[in-house]
Amino acid sequence: MTCQAATTLPRKAALLAHRSEHGVAPATRARAAWLSGISLAGLGRLLGPHPAWERRAAEAARHWLRLVDEGRNAASWRTASPLLREGAEPTEWETAMRSVRAPLGRCLSRRLRSHVAVDGPCEELQGPYVVVRYDSVFEHLGRRIETVTPVLGTDGCWRVAAYFVG
């Protein structure tokens, strides 16, 4: 996706929790696809090792996942990045998270698999981001890879911009 295309997409596409594309507008799928690309396929420009970023972003991801695991979806929305919050109203986020997490059941275990710093494709989606992957085991659907992608905010805080379960 070019930077021009990325900047013309509606904010609604900022990124909802993702398991399928059913009921999602094409523009929403396009931005979600870009975030999915950096999250899942490493399509963002690698920024090289940044141990402090990676450590702080992984801490933010763990804290955020704790909220999700506890079913505190409103709190997960409030603590997420503006990119995610501008893409979904709290009620939309609640619905999306329930549709993603309910079939999985409780998270029984989670182990850090990797983390890597990447940048966005253009100024509007400028990072840095850290793609954090976990090997997770869920009550109903067993082993899954969870990908949480925090972005560094202008205030120096890392906040989740994307979440995928694959």
52's CB contacts (< 8 A; 6+ apart) are none
76's CB contacts (< 8 A; 6+ apart) are 64, 67, 68, 93, 97, 160
pTM: 0.76
Inter-residue contact 67 to 80 (CB < 8 Å): no
Average pLDDT over residues 136-155: 95
Better-predicted residue by pLDDT, 26 or 132? 132
Inter-residue contact 17 to 96 (CB < 8 Å): yes
What per-residue confidence (pLDDT) applies to 120?
78
Could you tell me the domains of the chain? 3-165 (3.10.450.100)
Asked which of 40-49, 132-141, 144-153, 155-164 is least confident by mean pLDDT, the reply is 40-49
Per-range mean pLDDT, top range of 10-14, 57-61, 98-102: 57-61
Q: How far apart are the first and last CA of the chain?
A: 22
Q: For 82-117, how does the pLDDT look when each residue is reduced to its tens digit (9 = 90+)? A: 989 988 899 999 999 999 999 999 999 999 999 999
Asked which of 15-29, 67-81, 129-143, 144-158 is least confident by mean pLDDT, the reply is 15-29
**By CB neighbour count within 10 A (0-12 exposed, 13-18 middle, 19+ buried), where does 159 fall?**
buried
Residue 47 banded pLDDT, cuts 50, 70, 90: confident
Examine the pLDDT at 52 and tell me if it is beyond 90. Answer: yes
> Residue 138's beta-bridge partner residues?
107, 142
What per-residue confidence (pLDDT) applies to 43?
52
What per-residue confidence (pLDDT) applies to 126?
77
Each as own residue / partner, the long-range contacts of residues 88-97 (CB below 8 Å, 24 or more positions apart, any chain) are 88/12, 88/14, 88/16, 92/16, 93/16, 93/17, 96/16, 96/17, 97/17, 97/68, 97/73
